[in-house]
Amino acid sequence: EPEVTQTPSHQVTQMGQEVILRCVPISNHLYFYWYRQILGQKVEFLVSFYNNEISEKSEIFDDQFSVERPDGSNFTLKIRSTKLEDSAMYFCASSDDVGQGVGGYTFGSGTRLTVV
């Protein structure tokens, strides 16, 4: 079954540093997303991306965040100047044009970001 892959699995960074989280969505999917999950809390939507532009973003996704699809396979989330409260699990997801059913909306295994 096709997978969404994320790297690295764990990233430790110092406060104020820039981080880039990487994702390879499922190849025939058209919509790409980033979510985050603070330890013990629910999964929260950050941003959706379609046709090479942001289609929707949440209040969490402020000017410190950016996304990019630099080539035909990768989808990245950049945090310019990390804060302690950015520590969380970050999930990439992708969906096809229907976005439903098994494999229609798929999550990666996540990158655990720890800001120290």
Partner 1 sequence: GESVGLHLPTLSVQEGDNSIINCAYSNSASDYFIWYKQESGKGPQFIIDIRSNMDKRQGQRVTVLLNKTVKHLSLQIAATQPGDSAVYFCAESPGQGGKLIFGQGTELSVKP
Q: What is the closest distance, in whole angstroms, from the C-beta atom of residue 8 to partner 1 in the complex?
A: 14
**Cβ closest to partner 1, residue 77 vs residue 110:** 110
Closest CA to 101 of 1, 22, 19: 1
Q: What is the closest distance, in whole angstroms, from the C-beta atom of residue 25 to partner 1 in the complex?
A: 13
**Cβ closest to partner 1, residue 14 vs residue 100:** 100
Q: How many whole angstroms separate alpha carbon 40 and alpha carbon 103?
A: 26
Q: How many CB atoms lie within 10 A of CB 54?
A: 12
**Cβ closest to partner 1, residue 6 vs residue 82:** 6
Q: What is the closest distance, in whole angstroms, from the C-beta atom of residue 39 to partner 1 in the complex?
A: 11
Q: What is the closest distance, in whole angstroms, from the C-beta atom of residue 27 to partner 1 in the complex?
A: 17
Q: Are 14 and 116 in contact, with CB atoms under 8 Å apart? A: yes
* Residue-wise burial string across 65-85, b where 16 or more C-beta atoms lie within 10 A, e elsewhere: bebebeeeeebebebeebeee
What residue ranges bind partner 1 (CB under 8 A)?
4, 30-31, 33, 35, 41-45, 48, 50, 55-56, 58, 91, 95, 97-103, 105-110, 112
